[in-house]
């Protein structure tokens, strides 16, 4: 697996917003790295799996991830990826996200990101390019935060449990059995899960399955195969849970991405 690192020039710029284009082959990855300025990680084509010590995010072309400055992260590409990303100074605008989060990308925001990447540097705040960058910032602060995050627990016992679930997303072992394996009560395990991830055990496992399903769909797998791989009783059971979480059925998810 090839890996890449970003040039630090743009992510330390004094300009409020700077853009960068980078294309990757399927399976490529970036090294662990961080930026002084915040980064809006976006791809006009392909799906990225973005990891940080806080957790994991799946980023399809209708979504972008906000990565605050100083946050260590690394990206893996699912399919060929055409990344169009922007670096944003933390004080560039009020109301910018403070935490890692996935936001929806409207057709307008998509075009603004693509346009920002083409802006020659440096630019003047009062120029057409400067106004374009301000509009991009306005759009970012208006976008909805979306549920595409899988938090990583700090507790070593929970981390081992979660690694097991990620390795076998069709695992249906009950919470009580996991508690016995880890030498704690079921109530204690549930409390630890809440404390470390903000989710119940069941919610975390469900989110892990859905994000794995999203990644499999991105590679072209059929819905029936994905449902069986994840341990669902039927494709309709998977589709129901998928729609409840992401707002559209799996059959429409990447069709919407292609249309945007």
Same domain as 18, residue 99: yes
pLDDT at site 260: 39
pLDDT in tens, 158-211: 998 999 999 998 888 999 999 999 999 999 999 999 999 999 999 999 989 988
pLDDT at site 200: 93
Answer left, alpha or beta for residue 258, where phi above 0 means left and psi between -120 and 50 means alpha: alpha
Same domain as 139, residue 28: yes
The domain in which residue 199 lies consists of 153-259
Residues of the chain with pLDDT under 50: 1-5, 257-260
Same domain as 76, residue 59: yes
pLDDT at site 122: 94
H helices, E strands: number in the chain? 10, 10
pLDDT at site 235: 93
Domain count, the chain: 2
Boundary-marking domain end, from 146, 167, 199: 146
Same domain as 118, residue 51: yes
Q: Is 156 exposed, middle or buried (0-12, 13-18, 19+ CB in 10 A)?
A: exposed
Same domain as 61, residue 125: yes
Boundary-marking domain end, from 146, 177, 195: 146
Q: What kind and span of H or E run contains 82?
A: strand 74-88
Q: Residue 238: which CATH number? A: 1.10.10.60
With CA atoms as reference, report the closest residue to 136 among 115, 117, 114, 109: 109
Boundary-marking domain end, from 130, 146, 162: 146
Same domain as 187, residue 135: no
Same domain as 86, residue 191: no
Same domain as 127, residue 19: yes
Residue 118, both tokens: 């083409």
Same domain as 130, residue 25: yes
Same domain as 189, residue 140: no
With CA atoms as reference, report the closest residue to 149 among 260, 46, 66, 42: 66
Q: Residue 22: which CATH number? A: 2.60.120.810
């Amino acid at each position: 697996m090839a890996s890449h690192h970003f040039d630090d020039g743009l992510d330390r710029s004094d300009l409020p917003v700077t853009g960068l284009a980078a294309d990757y082959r399927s399976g490529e990855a970036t090294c662990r790295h961080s930026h002084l300025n915040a980064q809006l990680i976006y791809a006009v084509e392909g799906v990225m799996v973005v990891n940080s010590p806080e957790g994991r995010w799946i980023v399809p072309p209708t979504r972008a991830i906000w990565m605050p400055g100083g946050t260590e992260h690394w990206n893996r590409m699912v399919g060929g990826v055409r990344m169009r990303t922007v670096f944003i100074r933390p004080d560039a605008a009020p109301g910018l996200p403070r935490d890692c989060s996935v936001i929806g990308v409207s057709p307008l925001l998509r075009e603004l990101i693509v346009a920002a990447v083409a802006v020659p540097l440096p630019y003047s705040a009062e120029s057409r390019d400067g106004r374009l960058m301000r509009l991009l910032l306005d759009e970012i602060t208006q976008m909805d935060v979306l549920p595409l995050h899988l938090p990583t627990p700090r507790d070593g016992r929970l981390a081992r449990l979660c690694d097991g679930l990620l390795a076998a997303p069709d695992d249906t072992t009950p919470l009580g059995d996991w508690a016995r394996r880890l030498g704690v009560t079921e109530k204690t395990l549930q409390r630890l899960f809440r404390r470390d991830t903000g989710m119940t055990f069941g919610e975390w496992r469900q989110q892990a399955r859905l994000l794995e399903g999203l990644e499999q769909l991105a590679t072209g797998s059929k819905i029936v195969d994905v449902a069986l791989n994840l341990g669902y009783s039927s494709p309709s059971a998977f589709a129901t849970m998928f729609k409840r979480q992401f707002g559209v059925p799996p059959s429409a998810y990447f069709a919407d991405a292609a249309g945007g």
